[in-house]
Amino acid sequence: MYSHSLSSRSSFSLFFFAPYWQSLPPLTNGVPSLLHGDGSRAGQGELSLVHPRSRSQPQCIVDSFTMASDPVDIKLDLEKECLATECAKKVQAYNACLERIKSVDPMKEPHCYNQYFDIIHCVDVCVDPKLWPTLK
């Protein structure tokens, strides 16, 4: 009869099936502890990613590592601007449609898909020429 207890498995299988999070480096002030291949800590501005099970040979070393602040998605701002200006009439048509279908029997499955997709298309056409020049 096959036993499913962990004690009957070899130490290799326990090591192999250990959860990934157990092999991650410890956090220091919410930041992973960065180590060199010899186990010494990496200095500021220097990153050494070493698999914890093979600390003798670094697998990936990135020099001059600097963490930038979170990038700002300007597309969201451009979309809001387009909704308020160039696509305002389409938004009004969509809102009017939503008011109209409130009085329609739900069994007829009323919808405003056409007006919704008109808004999406208008925003895409408005945002594209403004967004692409800003991308690198």
Average pLDDT, the chain: 69
The secondary structure element, H or E, covering residue 47 is: strand 46-49
Considering just the CA atoms, what is the radius of gyration of the chain in Å? 28
Q: How confident is the model at residue 89 (pLDDT cuts 50, 70, 90)?
A: very high
- Closest listed residue to residue 95, CA positions, set 116, 110, 76: 116
Chain-centroid distance of CA 26 in Å reads 23
Domain boundaries, the chain: 6-63, 74-134
pLDDT confidence band for 121 (50 / 70 / 90)? very high
Alpha helix (H) residue ranges in 57-101: 74-84, 88-101
pLDDT in tens, 99-111: 999 988 888 889 9
pLDDT of residue 41: 53
Q: Is residue 14 predicted with pLDDT exceeding 70?
A: no
Rounded CA separation 89/44 (Å): 53
